[in-house]
Structure 1
Amino acid sequence: MLKRTFPSPEALRRFPFGLADVAVILGTLVLLALIARIGAGTLVSFHPPDIVPNIDLNPRNLPYYAGQSTLRMFVALFCSTIFTLVYGYIAAYSRRAERVMIPLLDILQSVPVLGFLSITVTGFIALFPGSLLGLEAASIFAIFTSQVWNMTFSFYQSLRTVPKELDEAATLYHLSRWQRFTKLEVPSAMIGLVWNAMMSFGGGWFFVAASEAISVLNQQYTLPGIGSYVTAAIAAKNIPALGWAALTIAIVILVVDQLFWRPIVVWADKFRLEQSAATEAPESWVYDLLKAARIPRTIARSLTPLGEASNRFLSLLMPPRESYPAEFSRHRSDRIYDLILLLIVGVLIAGALHFIIATVGLSEVFKAFVLGLLTLLRVTVLLIFATLIWTPIGVAIGFNPKLARLLQPVVQFLASFPANFIFPFATLFFIHSHISINWGCVLLMALGAQWYILFNSIAGAQSIPTDLREMATDVGLKGWKRWQKLIIPGIFSAWVTGGVTASGGAWNASIVSEIVSWGHTTLTATGLGAYIAQATEVGDWARITLGIGMMSLFVVGLNRLFWRRLYRLAETKYHL
């Protein structure tokens, strides 16, 4: 007779799989199945000027539409992260490249999403003939342009303000450029980069409708997604459909926050630059689940030899530099270089002016300038109020882990919820309350732009070492003295990044905020944003060029005269 035996508790603990591993495997399989199911919709045949099938307002279609939009958002976020790391690094450590790349970043940030769509839709369709991939690529590129500039500014500024003692230690140990990048530069920028990526992802929802329901150059293109669903619901005056869309996007934002952003925030907390541990670390059940699972650790161990070999190879390709100066010195060749750049820019501006004046006349240029001044006034009012309201709230969240755990999902939800989903209800309110859209559009712009200041304030406050906060408390710093001696210097660099990106975001948001519709009723503010939107819809290339050029001129001028000086102050005075 065979004796039946059962494994002991010790043997069970040695079993290669646990409940956490089962959850990770099932979650991975479900994720891959969803990506395959949603991604299959991008491979359908499409031949312009064919019309993509109309959006069905049946709420049963919303999960699929939401999945399509979310997949586009994550593809755009991946591209934005790669661009940020490469572009920000080159701009931070190449003197000559910095003179071109940072002004170019100012200009690109100022170009509205509709401007990119006007230029790229036809090209992407031609790149993928006979396939919907062209429209998908154009939509993803539009979302990319709404995400990437904020992240790039943050990473660039972090590289320029790496703590001096850590920079000297890396030089002393002769770390290669690759080792310095992975061991010092990216970790020191991680907290700001994560919070700015979170903000960029949330801000991307703002332009989902514009990127999925594309109306440029007298052509209408519609992709299945929650943004195009809302556009169709607005056109049909279908309030129940708008309500279902709002509920769906709220669920998507909360799920993405719990499954993606919250674990990343917890993981990034280990990159805090301080000597004493944080009083209370952030928590995430997904992060705890991944740490408890054995499969991720097993996979990581199996890939360790490959990772080490890659690090050695990249370190050989990128040997140490002699120095990493905080300030670039100017040479005679730099002045010649700047003169050549100035001549090139001058030729381009002269060509654009000749085209504009020859087609629309000098009076139209003056009109666009005046409209730009009106939009500039709205942007300035928005920045002042956003700073006064959200900076103290951001500092409170960043200093208090309990408050951060409670409010981080809330602010993530508020920042991620597409403000233009609220526009139809705001339009109805303006109509019935007889509020002028010239003032109401400031509120609509704020719904999309104010969060840059909040998220950067949170990141800046979290980056202030705990030991400095404890020291400030021990010496009795309170009230305004605490702000003056600790908080403002500590968050100044992050706040400048938030301010410059909020400014660019507000200019971009003016495109969809200065002209809003409900059914056949359209409210139009007097401003440069409405001017560009109207020109883009009818395909007026001369006025599109004039409007985008004028907006770029305002944004770049403001950055050069105001924000760049604050950046220099942050680099030279207000950083650890």
Structure 2
Amino acid sequence: MAVFTSHIPTRRFGLIDILVIAFVFALLFSVLHLGAGMIIPFSPENQIEISTDPADLPYYAGRSLLRMFIAYGASLLFTLIYGSIAAKSRTAEKVLIPLLDILQSVPVLGFLSVTITMFMGLFPNSLLGVELAAIFAIFTGQCWNMTFSFYHSLTTLPQDLNEAAAVLRLNWWQRFIRLEVPFAMIGLVWNSMMSFGGGWFFLAASEAITVLNESIRLPGVGSFMAAAVEEGNMPAVGYAILTMIVMIVLVDQLFWRPIVVWSQKFKMERTEAIEVPTSFVYAILQRAVFVTWMQKYFFRPVAKAVYGAFNLGARVTGHTAAQLESITPLSYLTAAIKWVLFSVILYYVSQQAYQGCRMIASVGLDTLVEIITFGFYTLGRVMAASLIGVLWTVPVGVLIGTSPRLSKFFQPIVQVAASFPANMIYPFVAVFYLKHSVNFELGSIPLMMLGTQWYILFNVIAGAMAIPNDLKEAATVFKLSGWQKWRKLILPAIFPYLITGCITASGGAWNASIVSELVTWKEDQLNATGLGNFISQVTAAGDWPGIIGGIAVMCAFVVIINRLFWRRLYQLAETKYHLN
């Protein structure tokens, strides 16, 4: 009996527990209420009218948040599966990583053009089809950055940890849950925050869909903003911006900040840090008796059951694989099945590629040359935006990441700045540019930076936070300071994270070009010559050959640049600049 009671918390049930329980029930009720609005009847002829009344903003904000978190859950699952396969199989890596380059370069409007009809066909006469298309669009704005981060973390696992896992004979599930995920946790958390912010960036495009000459609006802050811009209703635009800031701050304090504090337990170091991040929400959860009881009597048993099931499955699959390797005919059969599956996939991809090539051929050589020329215009803006982003994010990111005190103060500010959809302030920028006759060919570069520089900043912060405390103490012992400290410790430590940030920022910049090269305010349009502008116009017109041609050219630019430049830098980071 004494053994049992020793685990019962000494704290008593009190006001904190009542507040936690009330919050949990309010959250569950809100999810059910908001989710019910996703499955109402719908048809393109009888669409939902979007109000610009500020009283409707709380409900719209809830619908937007629900889409964001559903998309984030799907992104996290995709990241863990896709990143693991790409990092552990050299054969799969040769296919999956170039494919990831292509996918992150496909604009959100490109995904919407293809998926909106498919999802509406799966759920006819229901709003759920349009909701799933919007969630999928947000998913495409979140998952690529997270996947690159997780993949890069797995490929830079220290050799001594790999050897320890081999000595302990960990199966694939034990290795995944006890080594790989913990090692990648800090980078994954910060890139999750950045990716969540990336989802906000395309919220308006996913909730206010104008594709194939058809306009579909979903209740949400993004569609509210789009309706306000169309009306030229500046007070409504201000209310939408204020609502967005409130949402971002609440999500940061109630969700991301506690996770950042929790993730510090996975930091690799042999000495304890002097300062650690704090969170009042995390402190409340630790003090609440209700949370302790739920953890003991619900979460731990469920986690134990899930862990046991996956562990058993890993043992069975490992044993079966070992047996198959020892039986030559069966190993041949396994190889044959793999080749059949690969051939089927290759045939399907070839068919789709053939149809795409036919559409591109119908564009005409002159138009194709013009699209490629547009690509070089956008390439110049992407390079300028990335370079300017690196110049300021590296020193600022290192300063924030190496100081828990500064991190506590600046994280909410950075989170708001990074998560706030930059295209929501585009109307104000458009008014300023129109009033002062700013050359939009150059003026579009700052707009592109607003949506991409944060990828670099968050990766640099994650890299600086992951520097082991014992290495910092060693640098102090050897009296490293100034440029010498940067050259010997900081830059080598953050280099893999910096390259990851640059790769995702570059891909994000190409994607952001569709909203930064064409900005509308009332009847006025600001146009910058470029591929993003071209894709926006052909998508709105429903010009399928133009859509396919623009997306294909953008994918080609991204893949070639990644192969020739960014991948070589990452190979350097993987072989020379990682903890070992």
What's the TM-score, normalizing by structure 2?
0.91
Deviation of the 1:305 alpha carbon: 4.2
Aligned residues of 1:51 and 1:221 also touching (Cα < 8 A): no
Match of 2:496 in 1: 493
CA distance in 2, matches of 1:558, 1:344: 27
What are the equivalent positions in structure 2 for 1:230-309 lying under 5 Å apart? 230-303=225-298, 304-309=300-305
Match of 2:360 in 1: 356
| Pair 1:566–1:344, CA change in 2 (3 A) | farther
Is the deviation greater in 304-313 or in 452-461? 304-313
CA distance in 2, matches of 1:97, 1:156: 12
Is the deviation greater in 490-499 or in 309-318? 309-318
Indicate the SS of the match to 2:525. Answer: strand
Match of 2:575 in 1: 572
Do structure 1's residue 461 and structure 2's residue 464 form an aligned pair? Answer: yes
Aligned residues of 1:457 and 1:495 also touching (Cα < 8 A): yes
Please point out which of 23, 26, 33 is paired with 1:37.
Answer: 33
Match of 2:395 in 1: 392
Aligned residues of 2:109 and 2:536 also touching (Cα < 8 A): yes
CA distance in 2, matches of 1:321, 1:290: 39
Match of 1:437 in 2: 440
Deviation of the 1:297 alpha carbon: 2.1
| Pair 1:104–1:33, CA change in 2 (3 A) | same
Indicate the SS of the match to 2:215. Answer: strand
Match of 1:10 in 2: none
Do structure 1's residue 404 and structure 2's residue 400 form an aligned pair? Answer: no
Match of 2:20 in 1: 24
Indicate the SS of the match to 2:47. Answer: coil
| Pair 1:407–1:305, CA change in 2 (3 A) | closer
Please point out which of 516, 520, 527 is paired with 2:519.
Answer: 516
Match of 1:182 in 2: 177
- Unmatched tracts of structure 1, length 5 or more: 1-12, 323-332
Please point out which of 115, 121, 137 is paired with 1:120.
Answer: 115
| Pair 1:566–1:15, CA change in 2 (3 A) | closer
What are the equivalent positions in structure 2 for 1:444-483 lying under 5 Å apart? 444-483=447-486
Match of 1:554 in 2: 557
Do structure 1's residue 312 and structure 2's residue 308 form an aligned pair? Answer: yes
CA distance in 2, matches of 1:315, 1:40: 37
1:181-200 deviation digits (Å, cap 9, x = unpaired): 11110000000000000000
CA distance in 2, matches of 1:538, 1:562: 35
| Pair 1:50–1:429, CA change in 2 (3 A) | same
Match of 2:332 in 1: none
Deviation of the 1:351 alpha carbon: 5.3
The amino acid that maps onto 2:482 is G
CA distance in 1, matches of 2:21, 2:550: 51
CA distance in 2, matches of 1:36, 1:313: 30
What are the equivalent positions in structure 2 for 1:161-200 lying under 5 Å apart? 161-200=156-195
Aligned residues of 1:147 and 1:201 also touching (Cα < 8 A): yes
The amino acid that maps onto 1:293 is A
Match of 1:417 in 2: 420
Indicate the SS of the match to 1:215. Answer: strand
| Pair 1:442–1:179, CA change in 2 (3 A) | same
What are the equivalent positions in structure 2 for 1:364-379 lying under 5 Å apart? 364-379=367-382
The amino acid that maps onto 2:123 is F
Deviation of the 1:306 alpha carbon: 4.5
Deviation of the 1:16 alpha carbon: 5.2
Indicate the SS of the match to 2:274. Answer: coil
Match of 2:49 in 1: 54
Aligned residues of 2:359 and 2:548 also touching (Cα < 8 A): no
1:412-432 deviation digits (Å, cap 9, x = unpaired): 000011100000000011111
CA distance in 1, matches of 2:124, 2:156: 46
Indicate the SS of the match to 1:77. Answer: helix
1:273-312 deviation digits (Å, cap 9, x = unpaired): 1111122110001101111112222222224344334323
CA distance in 1, matches of 2:456, 2:313: 39
CA distance in 1, matches of 2:528, 2:11: 67
Deviation of the 1:15 alpha carbon: 7.3
Aligned residues of 2:397 and 2:457 also touching (Cα < 8 A): yes
- Unmatched tracts of structure 2, length 5 or more: 1-8, 320-334
CA distance in 1, matches of 2:472, 2:426: 41
Match of 1:137 in 2: 132
CA RMSD of aligned residues (A): 2.1
1:390-414 deviation digits (Å, cap 9, x = unpaired): 1110000000110000100000000
Deviation of the 1:458 alpha carbon: 0.1
The amino acid that maps onto 2:229 is I
Do structure 1's residue 75 and structure 2's residue 75 form an aligned pair? Answer: no
CA distance in 1, matches of 2:267, 2:553: 41
| Pair 1:133–1:408, CA change in 2 (3 A) | same
Aligned residues of 2:42 and 2:126 also touching (Cα < 8 A): yes
Deviation of the 1:314 alpha carbon: 1.7
Aligned residues of 1:79 and 1:144 also touching (Cα < 8 A): yes
Indicate the SS of the match to 2:210. Answer: strand
The amino acid that maps onto 2:495 is F
Indicate the SS of the match to 2:87. Answer: helix
CA distance in 2, matches of 1:368, 1:449: 23
Match of 2:329 in 1: none
Deviation of the 1:353 alpha carbon: 3.4
CA distance in 2, matches of 1:311, 1:345: 36
Aligned residues of 2:377 and 2:529 also touching (Cα < 8 A): yes
| Pair 1:152–1:15, CA change in 2 (3 A) | closer
Is the deviation greater in 524-533 or in 308-317? 308-317
Aligned residues of 2:143 and 2:195 also touching (Cα < 8 A): yes
Deviation of the 1:94 alpha carbon: 1.5
Deviation of the 1:356 alpha carbon: 1.6
Deviation of the 1:348 alpha carbon: 6.3
CA distance in 2, matches of 1:244, 1:316: 53
Indicate the SS of the match to 1:43. Answer: coil
The amino acid that maps onto 1:111 is V
CA distance in 2, matches of 1:530, 1:471: 51
| Pair 1:15–1:472, CA change in 2 (3 A) | closer
CA distance in 2, matches of 1:302, 1:344: 48
Identity %: 53
1:62-118 deviation digits (Å, cap 9, x = unpaired): 111111111110110011000000111111111211111111100000000000000
CA distance in 2, matches of 1:350, 1:133: 32
CA distance in 2, matches of 1:93, 1:101: 11
CA distance in 1, matches of 2:170, 2:48: 56
Do structure 1's residue 223 and structure 2's residue 227 form an aligned pair? Answer: no
CA distance in 1, matches of 2:306, 2:406: 41
CA distance in 2, matches of 1:351, 1:457: 41
What's the TM-score, normalizing by structure 1?
0.92
Aligned residues of 1:190 and 1:268 also touching (Cα < 8 A): yes
The amino acid that maps onto 1:539 is G
Deviation of the 1:344 alpha carbon: 9.2
Deviation of the 1:474 alpha carbon: 1.9
The amino acid that maps onto 1:287 is Y
Indicate the SS of the match to 2:98. Answer: helix
Aligned residues of 1:374 and 1:527 also touching (Cα < 8 A): yes
Aligned residues of 2:441 and 2:528 also touching (Cα < 8 A): yes
